[in-house]
Amino acid sequence: MSSIAKKKGFGSTLWDYLTTVDHKKIAVMYLAAGGLFFVIGGIEAMLIRIQLAKPDNDFVSAGLFNEIITMHGTTMIFLAAMPILFGFMNAVMPLQIGARDVAFPFLNSLGFWLFLFGGIFLNLSWFMGGAPDAGWTSYASLSLASPGHGIDFYALGLQIAGAGTYIGGINFLVTIINMRAPGMTYMRMPLFTWTTFVASALILFAFPPLTVGIFFLILDRMFGANFFDHTMGGNTIIWEHLFWIFGHPEVYILILPAFGIFSEIFALFARKRLFGYSSMVFATVLIGFLGFMVWAHHMFTVGLGPTANAIFAVATMAIAVPTGMKIFNWLLTIWGGSIKVTTPMLYALAFIPSFVAGGVTGIMQAAAPLDYQLHDSYFIVAHFHYVIVGGVVLAILAAVHLYWPLMFNQMLSEKLGKWTFWFFFIGFHLTFFIQHFLGLMGMPRRVFTFGANQGWDLFNLISSIGAAFMAVGVVILVVNIIITVVKNVPVGNDPWEDGRTLEWAIPQPVPFYNFKQTPLVRGLDTFWIEKMEGNKEGMTYAEPLSDIHMPNGSIIPIVMTIGLFIGAFGALYNGEKDWAIPVLVLGLAITFGAMAVRSLKDDHGFHIHKEDLMNDEGGK
Amino acid sequence: MSHDAQVYVRSQTEFEYIKQKRKKDMRNQVTSFAIMIFLTLIAFTAVAAGFSVYLIVPVILLLAAVQVVLQLYYFMHMSEENHQVAAFFLYSAVMLAFTFVLTFLTIVWWG
């Protein structure tokens, strides 16, 4: 039997996705799951804006409002933005460096399932006695005092999802270090690969503090420890430090891949080499380093003392320098280019002023004395939505349009894409620009309502109308996706016609083994070089056609994850239900049993034979 | 293994070289292991002898630092070639951990 032939049918397709270790299929699953959580988080945002649309509103109660804002933040950061970016990293990065797959395909699948089940666990809290309600930061004194199981769902869910992210980060690091095609030196890597690399390094260093902090929280809440309880000799500030040692690098984990996506878009649609490539790489690495030195700027008002505040204020302002370098490099990339204003390019052009606005308010908050005024007001809300929506979400929406043909061999409608863009872009500024002024007028963040005599009515109403615009934009995007998938018109490789990097050189649909022969990389923008030299195929090969070694799929990752998922319920109900400890033990037993099977049972994968490869015209 | 893969046979000289290198590695490992046991003995002796705490603590910390370096370079193979990336990440982590601990000491516990 041919080593490439595949079964068809719903059951086998489902089984294929449950057991897949192919980075391209895992990317699709990340995108789908992340997209689902993005919609859930978006619905929560709509509920917030409906509640705040008019004064003294009773659309939701104060307690439910707290749950909604907590879940909105947690879902958007951990379950939407990061997984969607992971999806693009999985889909694009291995192709960009000419790799066969990621370094550890099995772990790649494990990482995805951990994220998904962590996210499901977190969201089950809605149906099992109430969601977490202490904000996405879950500051310890507040979260320890929170009744019910909401915070327990938060802690256990994030622990599971966080493990998945951590595994994914390590996987990307090893892939980029070890699996680059011949000739792909570090300084020839496309910017999206570079930002994936640095973001993964940040994951490597930032997630352990979060894991430690959440373990302390789990022990405090479910197993009677007192790490954060000052009456028992603990210290509540330690949570804040641990959370922000993770939390600040986390925002760079989000924004750096966004920078990478925009760097690709600017070069592609300005049809020019990226201006200042090496300074872009330098700035990316520098932002990564500085990102670890600034966490206490989230805690200026805690009372760290003037010396600490001054040090962290200066370090924070320093980050503006490499970020500014990037902004100017992007502008100079466009300058003199032969610009095509496609949907992804529209997002990229809109990103520059939006993100700069968010960056400028960030520098304002970096000044510690001013931060005492701005702290916990809507000014902060406006700031971080400007950088996250104006940076990360615009990048995600741009990448959906840009990489859709790469991932699915179909083109999203440009016309509907532009409608999405204008609704989203106008709605975004309408929603958040005015929130700066609400903050300056004294409106605190996280309040569930306000009085009619406080003068905040009109601005809040405008903000809510803007949110509705964004929702319309997202609905148009969903419609666009449905229409495109139903029509299913194949577009072939290099659909934007100006692809510069290796991922656009691969035949469509991408064969499951990626490149038949590993490409030889002859410079930055290697596909572009080949095109300019008239190479019709788009690639020079580094090796003769030979057998390809592939990993086997495996159901073990999902079994391991389900074990942790079951065990988490045991931990959650510890000390309350008799079955809690047995369930915890059962869950962990399933996980460790699956790990043992994985360790003891050899799986050498399989080979695709040369003869089959020669007959395979790419695809399927 | 794929059926057209080539099998590489080592020459006698290469074989001798590798043998010699392995011998040297082994000697290094045993030596560093002995040094580490010796350092541990010093640490235990210092405590058992009842010296002042202000002497014992810095001495033990110093010995610990030496042991970590020996561990990394001889047992975890960082002394060998092509470990620059691992070393880079390791020293980055050390630097970050140092910053975090310093901050905790100065503004959480002492401040």
Structure tokens at A218: 């789990």
List pLDDT tens digits, range A464-511: 999 999 999 999 999 999 999 999 999 988 899 899 999 999 888 888
Q: How far apart are CA A44 and CA A25, in angstroms?
A: 29
Chain A residue nearest residue B96, CA to CA: A292
Nearest to B108 among A237, A293, A610 (CB): A237
CA A448 to each of CA A42, A50, A69, A147: distance values in angstroms, whole numbers, following the listed order = 18, 11, 9, 19
Is the pLDDT at B25 greater than 90? The verdict is: no
Residue A1 binned pLDDT confidence (cut-offs 50, 70, 90): very low
Residue A558: pLDDT above 90?
A: yes
Interface residues on B facing A, Cβ-Cβ cutoff 8 A: 2-5, 85, 89, 92-93, 96, 99-100, 103-104, 106-108, 111
Share of chain A above pLDDT 70, in %: 98
Q: For position A7, what pLDDT does the model report?
A: 62
Contacts of A204 in chain B (CB under 8 A): 89
- Interface mutation target, options A3, A100, A237, chain B, most CBs of B under 10 Å: A237
Q: Among residues of chain A, what percentage have pLDDT more than 90?
A: 80
Helix (H, G, I), strand (E, B), or coil: what is residue A410? Answer: coil
Q: Do A308 and B106 touch (CB under 8 A)?
A: yes
Separation of alpha carbons A82 and B50, rounded Å: 54
Q: Average pLDDT, stretch B22-36?
A: 88
Contact B111 A177 (CB under 8 A): no
pLDDT at A420: 96
Distance CA A60, CA A65 (A): 6
Please say whether the dihedral angle defined by the alpha carbons of residues B63, B65, B68 and B73, taken in this order, is positive or negative.
negative
How far is the C-alpha of A402 from the C-alpha of A391, rounded, in Å?
Answer: 16
Q: Can you point out the beta strands (E) in A58-161?
A: none
Q: Is the pLDDT of residue B74 over 90?
A: no
CB contact under 8 A, B103 and A241: yes
Q: How confident is the model at residue B5 (pLDDT cuts 50, 70, 90)?
A: low
Q: Which amino acid is at A158?
A: L
In this predicted structure, the answer to whether residue B2 has a pLDDT above a threshold of 60 is no
- pLDDT given for residue A75 in this prediction: 95
Among B2, B100, B103, the residue with its CB nearest the CB of A607 is B2
Whether residues B111 and A201 touch (CB distance < 8 A) is answered with no
Distance in Å, alpha carbon of A329 to nearest chain B alpha carbon: 27
Instruction: Tell whether A177 is within 8 A of chain B (Cβ).
Output: yes
CA distance B69 to chain A (A): 20
The two tokens of residue B81 are 């070639």
The residue ranking higher by pLDDT, B83 or A234, is A234
- Cα–Cα nearest to A469, from A528, A403, A397, A419: A419
Q: Are A350 and A394 in contact (CB under 8 A)?
A: yes
Is the minimum CB–CB distance between A547 and chain B shorter than 8 Å? yes
From residue A544, how far is each of A99, A292, A540, A610 by CA, in Å? Answer: 16, 45, 11, 10
Amino acid, res. B59? V
CB atoms closer than 10 angstroms to residue A245: 25
Query: What's the rounded Cα separation, in Å, for the pair A243 and A211?
Result: 9
Quick one: average pLDDT of A128-153? 91
- Cβ B108–A546 below 8 Å, yes or no? no
What pLDDT sits at residue A205? 94
What's the start-to-end Cα distance of chain B, in Å? 62
pLDDT of A620: 39
Distance CA A243, CA A240 (A): 5
Q: What is the mean pLDDT of chain A?
A: 92
Name the closest residue on chain B to residue A170, using Cα atoms.
B89
Chosen for mutation from A304, A513, A550 (greatest number of chain B CBs closer than 10 Å) is A304
- Given this model, what pLDDT does residue A404 score? 95
Tens digit of pLDDT for each residue in A4-62? 556 678 888 889 899 999 999 999 999 999 999 999 999 999 999 999 999 999 999 99
Mutate to test the interface with A, among B92, B94, B103, B106 (most CBs of A within 10 A): B103
Which residue ranges make up each domain of chain B?
A: 12-80
Look at residue B83 in the predicted model and tell me its pLDDT. 80
Which residue has tokens 């070890």?
A178
d(C-alpha A49, C-alpha A385), whole Å:
14
User: Using alpha carbons only, how large is chain A's radius of gyration in Å?
Assistant: 24
Q: Which of A285, A546, A548, A606 to mutate to test the interface with B (most CBs of B within 10 A)?
A: A546
Parallel/antiparallel/unpaired status of strands A606-608 and A548-550: antiparallel
pLDDT of residue B1: 47
Q: HSE-up of A545 (CA within 13 Å, CB side)? A: 11
Minimal C-alpha gap between B79 and chain A (Å): 19
| Chain B partners within 8 Å of A549 (Cβ) | 2
HSE toward the beta carbon, residue A481, CA cutoff 13 A:
16
CATH superfamily of A10-554+603-615: Cytochrome c oxidase-like, subunit I domain (1.20.210.10)
A299 touches chain B (CB under 8 A): no
Q: What is the pLDDT of residues A268-303, one digit of tens each?
A: 999 999 999 999 999 999 999 999 999 999 999 998
Of the candidates A123, A131, A158, the residue with the CA atom closest to the CA atom of residue A37: A123
Q: What digits encode the pLDDT tens for the residues A447-459? A: 999 999 899 999 9
Q: H helices of A367-494, where?
A: 368-374, 378-387, 394-408, 414-440, 457-487
Closest residue in B to A304 (Cα) is B107
Model confidence at A619: pLDDT above 60: no
pLDDT band per the 50, 70, 90 thresholds, residue A76: very high
Q: Are A217 and A143 in contact (CB under 8 A)?
A: yes
Q: State how far the Cα of A65 lies from the Cα of A51, in Å rounded to an integer.
A: 8
**Would an 8 Å CB–CB cutoff place A238 in contact with chain B?**
yes
Per-residue pLDDT at A608 exceeds 50: yes
Of the ranges A82-86, A195-199, A223-227, which one carries the lowest mean pLDDT score? A223-227
User: Quick one: pLDDT at residue A311?
Assistant: 92
Q: What residue ranges do the domains of chain A occupy?
A: 10-554+603-615
A444 pLDDT tier (thresholds 50, 70, 90): very high
CA A588 to each of CA A19, A109, A374, A581: distance values in angstroms, whole numbers, following the listed order: 21, 19, 45, 11
**Which residue bears the tokens 């380093």?**
A289
**DSSP class per residue in A18-32:** HH---HHHHHHHHHH
Q: Cα separation of A126 and A109, whole Å?
A: 27
Model confidence at A357, pLDDT cuts 50, 70, 90, reads very high
The answer to whether A564 and A587 are in contact (CB under 8 A) is yes
With bands split at pLDDT 50, 70 and 90, how would you rate the model's confidence at A576?
confident
CA distances for A45 relative to A51, A72, A398, B5, B9, angstroms:
10, 6, 21, 58, 66
- Ramachandran angles phi, psi of B94, nearest 5°: -60, -45
Q: Which of A393, A403, A418, A389 is closest to A268 using CA atoms? A: A403
Regarding predicted confidence, which is higher, A620 or A182? A182
Higher pLDDT, A574 or A592: A592
